Structure 1
Amino acid sequence: MRLSDRLETVVSMVRPAESAADIGTDHGHVPVELVRRGTVKRALAMDVRKGPLSRAEESVAMAGLENRIETRLSDGLEKLSPGEAEAVVIAGMGGELMIHILEQGRHMWDSVGQWILSPQSEIPKMRKWLWDNGFPVEKEEMVFEDGKFYTILSVGRKREDDRKERPERFFYYSQYLIDAKDPVFLKYLKEEEEKLCSLAESLGPLGAHSERAAAKKREAEEDLRYNREVQNEMQ
């Protein structure tokens, strides 16, 4: 089975463990590959819809792994119990939904050793929620595939409440990717820079007649300055 670059990165970031659960499994490719490669001994493929779960069952059967991968109908983490999964993968959905799933799955917070999260939107909000709730980001990867950028986070759990206050901007760009001088992240920054330049320029003439447009222009210029600061930090 050949995975997309995004799913390949997701699978590669899971540490060896006894068991893993894939939430919103769709075709079940992630749990199949985790077991087939020996990363985990057994896995759960979970989805809220019967259609994707049926496709996952087909993938599991084709791989001959019915005795090691269980499919389970579940709304997020609802039907997962502590001790059933050392690692949990949640990928391919918006950040708001992912936060909702994590909030509704508090019963799993302290029993899971690693969370692999790949939100498709609201990524700064996701990072802030993780920070505020004691889930330190241990590693990040960024993948560019089919014209889109995907962020994958490996997250742990820190019970001690010793987190310092962070400004909102701290969560906008990944410090991990900045420190790693990740080339895909640099490409993302440059594309964002172009968009912000175009936005600020287009708002220029409107700013003289609209306070709202002027405020948006100032915001775009501030974001542009921060973008360039991050790029300079990566040089």
Structure 2
Amino acid sequence: MIHLSKRMQALANLVSSCKTFCDVGTDHGFLPIYLVQSETCERAIAMDLREGPLDRAKTHIAEFGLSGAIETRLSDGVAALSAGEADAVLIAGMGGNVTIHILTEGLDVCQQLKELILQPQSEIDEVRKYVFSQGFVLVSEDMVEEDGKFYPMMKLVHKSQLSEEEYKNLRTDESAPYTEAELLYGPMLLASHHPVLMKYLKKDLKREETILSKLPDLDEERILTRRKIVENKIQLLQELLK
């Protein structure tokens, strides 16, 4: 069995048993290999925008004897994936704006998935705003720390794939609009006081307190505005850590 990093293992754990899994931006191809080896999915499609990473993925897939179960495709986002072809799609390790671009360009494909798993490297609040505005519903969240970096991740499904009863049982941005804090840090992570998120919030609080202590004690409008922003952030973090 292939060994995954802590971040990759957490992503793999979010994938439900399925027939076909698709990894967008597969790079080395390790995640599709693991999911087929573990029999989480019957087959997988490993896609990447660049030929170099795709060639590396092909080599690794062949080394594990899985060329018959894992197909590789050169693709910009999900452009090379047909609607209904995969049950689950993973988009991880990319910036938030790139993630939103991929989702926007492939919205028809993503809306028909049984699950969509995202792990943006930045602008995660903007990603959350976008997916919720497009009718995606949050199913679960997780967060891990690896090598001093924090990685929040989420699993979603489009409301069109849910029965009326299933939809009612899940919180949505329509039934209870998400707060600014929930968009920033993750509604389920906050609700569960996820230990990794709590560690991140404490680290963030220390950083903001340091910034505040170093601001010059001047009455300039620019400094006063900056001070107010930092003080508000500190207050928010203190409330979330209660």
- TM-score tier by shorter-chain length is over 0.9
Alignment equivalent of 1:168, drawn from 180, 186, 207: 180
Partner of residue 214 from structure 1, selected from 224, 228, 231: 224
Matched ranges for 1:64-213 at <5 A: 64-159=65-160, 163=174, 165-205=177-217, 208-213=218-223
TM-score, normalised relative to structure 2:
0.91
Greater than 3 Å deviation, 4+ residue runs: 159-162, 164-170
Look up the SS of the partner of 1:143 in the other structure: strand
SS at 2:42 equivalent: strand
Q: Secondary structure of 1:18's partner?
A: strand
Residue type at the aligned position of 1:123: I
Query: After alignment, is 67-76 or 102-111 more displaced?
Result: 102-111
Q: 1:189 to 1:169 in 2, by over 3 A?
A: closer
**Mapped partners of 1:194, 1:69: distance in 2:** 45
Distance 1:197 1:28 in 2: 41
Question: Does 2:241 match 1:231?
Answer: yes
1:203–1:214: 8 Å Cα contact kept in structure 2? no
Choose 17-26 or 105-114, whichever is displaced more.
Answer: 105-114
How big is each residue's C-alpha offset from its partner over 1:195-235, in whole Å with a ceiling of 9 and x where there is no partner? Answer: 11111222242xx2431221111111111111111111xxx
Shift of 1:168: 3.4
Structure 1 match to 2:8: 7
In the TM superposition, residue 110 of structure 1 has moved relative to its aligned partner by 2.5
Give the distance between the partners of 2:240 and 2:17, measured in 1 at CA: 34
For the Cα contact (< 8 Å) 2:24–2:92, is it kept in 1? yes
RMSD over equivalenced CA pairs, Å: 1.6
Amino acid at match of 1:192: D
Structure 1 gaps of 5+ residues are: none
Give the counterpart letter for 2:214 in structure 1.
Answer: S
Q: Are 2:44 and 2:71, in contact at CA under 8 Å, matched by a contact in 1?
A: yes
Asked whether the 8 Å contact 2:116–2:156 carries over to 1, the reply is: yes
Q: In the alignment, is the contact (CA less than 8 A) between 2:48 and 2:75 conserved in 1?
A: yes
In the alignment, is the contact (CA less than 8 A) between 1:42 and 1:68 conserved in 2? yes
Deviations along 1:168-192, whole A, 9 cap, x unmatched? 3441222211222211111001000
Cα deviation, residue 9, structure 1 = 0.4
Residues in 1 aligned to 2:78 and 2:43: alpha-carbon distance in whole angstroms: 17
Q: C-alpha displacement at 1:128, in angstroms?
A: 1.2
Indicate if the aligned counterparts of 2:208 and 2:233 stay in contact, CA closer than 8 A.
Answer: yes
With over 3 angstroms needed to count, the CA separation of the structure-2 counterparts of 1:12 and 1:80, relative to structure 1, is: same
Does the C-alpha gap of structure 1 residues 152 and 48 become closer, same or farther in structure 2, counting only changes over 3 Å? Answer: same
Percent of residue pairs bearing the same amino acid type:
39
Count of residue pairs the alignment pairs up: 230
CA contact (8 A) 2:46 2:72 kept: yes
Cα distance in 2, alignment partners of residues 89 and 228 from structure 1: 33
Contact 1:22 1:90 (8 Å CA) reproduced: yes
Contact 1:204 1:217 in 2 (8 A): no
